[in-house]
Amino acid sequence: MTATIQAPTKTLKLQLTTPVIDDRPIYVSGNFCDWIGNIDRFKMEKVAPGCYEFTFPAEIDLPENLEYKYTKGDWNHVELDTGGTAPLNRSATLGQVDTIQDFVPHWREEGVSLNDDLMPVTELLSESYEIPQLATNRRIQVLLPHNYHEQPDRHYPTLYLTDAQNLFGEGSSYGNWSIDRKLAVLSARGRGDVIIIAIDHGDKERIREFSPYDTKRHGKGKGKDFLKFITRTLKPEIDNKYRTLPDRLNTGIGGSSLGGLLAAYAGLMHPLVFSKLMIFSPSLWLSPRIYFDAVHFFEPFESRMYLYGGKREGTNMVRNLESLYETLGQQGFGYDRVHLNLEIDPLGKHNEARWGEEFPRALEWLYY
């Protein structure tokens, strides 16, 4: 019997979903049409609200390595990623698949990637807030949803973030997460309604303040006292001053590097306060005791943990993250209510810009 060799597929079907529903038609553009963004022949068919399909006609001679993007009429209305920035070209190898399912979270509109009216309202809680547990003072700012003062009867979940100097506005010499801009982009589709409490780090005291463990190299860790400050001093005032949803299911904590380690420890040791953990590139190298604490962690209530790390952050970052993920995931009883998400970026580096890219994905997964 002679085997039949199936010829490569000469056409391709694209299925697109998007939460942004408006009157603008959607087109496919790419290296098959000189990247012209509004050719009627490549206009997608709307099959349901937010759902579109397009099948390349068989007579079109498509390139074997297809590159493409979606537009809503031209490049001033091109697709954007979760952070409101232009993604890389989409790609497909002709003949490998018959149907591709794509998702576009945001779109540029008249060349603008975000609406300034949706920017969060930044308030200064204090330029020098007293931290009695550490006998020091610190600047603390609060980012309120853009509609906070327009909806006086509404209450919001909260997220406590460390290293505020690097989170928004002009940022610092280390970079910027640009969470204010990310929140504005998320708010365009109802995903930015979270109160952010941004706490400055202590410069030279940062390592010890964020470390929950004593180490020979860095001395006595003050992380436990820092978390006592958040849970016993700061959170009660935030809940009293602002319209928060103060219960654990609506309270999160997050950070990167040492701040990521502190967030992980906070989730393990204060599960009755925090249920949402944003853990970016945590400094798990600081002490192996974090794994011991993870082994003994038991939380019968709903919790969500978003873990992120990049392969270009050092040889141990991904391995340590995977160890923490596996340790948490193997606890057994009660863990059907603990939801874990591990994201590894093969090209990810240890910097604010990359954490800023991950922020909207993590926020949406944790809170929505």
Residues 71-108 have pLDDT tens digits of 999 999 999 999 899 999 999 998 888 999 999 999 99
pTM of the model: 0.89
pLDDT above 70 for 334: no
pLDDT above 90 for 46: yes
Q: Give the pLDDT score at 333.
A: 55
Q: Return the half-sphere exposure (C-beta side, CA atoms, 13 A cut-off) of residue 338.
A: 22
pLDDT bin (cut points 50, 70, 90) of residue 4 is very low
Domains, the chain, in order of start with CATH, read 13-107 (2.60.40), 116-367 (3.40.50.1820)
pLDDT above 50 for 7: no
pLDDT above 80 for 185: yes
Percentage of the chain lying above the pLDDT 70 cut = 95
Closest CA to 308 of 364, 255, 368: 255
What is the Cα–Cα distance from 330 to 199, expressed in whole angstroms?
Answer: 33
Q: What is the mean pLDDT of residues 154-172?
A: 93
Q: Give the pLDDT score at 151.
A: 96
Please enumerate in sequence order all residues whose Cβ is within 8 A of that of 183, keeping only pairs 6 or more positions apart, or say none: 118, 119, 120, 143, 145, 192, 194, 196
Q: Say which residue the tokens 């209305």 belong to.
A: 77
How does pLDDT run across 237-281, given as a tens digit for each residue?
999 999 999 999 999 999 999 999 999 999 999 999 999 999 999
Q: Is 232 left (phi over 0), alpha (psi -120 to 50) or beta?
A: alpha
Q: What is the mean pLDDT of residues 3-10?
A: 48
Q: Give the pLDDT score at 129.
A: 98
Q: Give the pLDDT score at 332.
A: 62
Q: Give the pLDDT score at 173.
A: 73
Q: Say which residue the tokens 């944790």 belong to.
A: 366
Instruction: Kindly provide the residue ranges of all beta strands, DSSP E only, lying in 134-203, ordered along the sequence.
Output: 136-144, 158-161, 195-199
Better pLDDT: 361 or 330: 361
Q: What is the DSSP string of 323-367?
A: HHHHHHHT--TTGGGEEEEEEEETT--SSHHHHHHHHHHHHHHHH
Mean pLDDT rounded to a whole number for the chain? 93
- Contact of 267 with 338, CB cutoff 8 Å: no
195-199/251-256 β-pairing:
unpaired
pLDDT above 60 for 1: no
pLDDT bin (cut points 50, 70, 90) of residue 296 is confident
Percentage of the chain lying above the pLDDT 90 cut = 82
